[in-house]
Amino acid sequence: MATARLIHGFIGAGKTTLARRLEAETGAIRFTHDEWMRRLYGRDPPEATFAESFRRVADLMEEVWTRCLSAGADVVLDSGLWQRTERDRVRGIVRRLGAECRLYASPAPTRPPGGALRHAMPDPTTV
């Protein structure tokens, strides 16, 4: 059974670092929204079209990751998933495709003395 690993957390919480680790450990196909945005729209997309560009990338990624899951491939979804409603929507898609879903939370970063960020890499919660 294919597995979708969903990573949620705020900006700077270590989501992509965790996603890369899971990709390396499991052989899953990683989908990182920020990387797709940069590749398609550059490092600084215009503010006037940002929301539309963001949505287009999310839609394109979903079209591809759902096909991967349907074909039996594991995926890692690194796209923020800040809102519970969005996490629930994605979990519903994963379940309809007959795949397993695991949710990983990257806690908000803390700033120790010196300003460096500490990133916690929690164990997954199967949902």
Residue 27 is predicted with a pLDDT of 98
pLDDT value of position 107: 72
pLDDT tens over the chain, length 127 residues: 999 999 998 888 899 999 999 999 999 999 999 999 999 999 988 999 999 999 999 999 999 999 999 999 999 999 988 899 999 999 999 999 999 999 999 876 655 444 444 443 344 444 4
Predicted pLDDT of residue 111: 53
DSSP states of 85-124: HHHHHHHHHHHHTT-EEEEEEEPPPB--TTSPPB---PPP
Rg, the chain, Cα only: 15
Confidence (pLDDT) at 90:
97
3-126 maps to which CATH number? 3.40.50.300
Strand pairing report for 125-126 and 100-106: antiparallel
Domain boundaries, the chain: 3-126
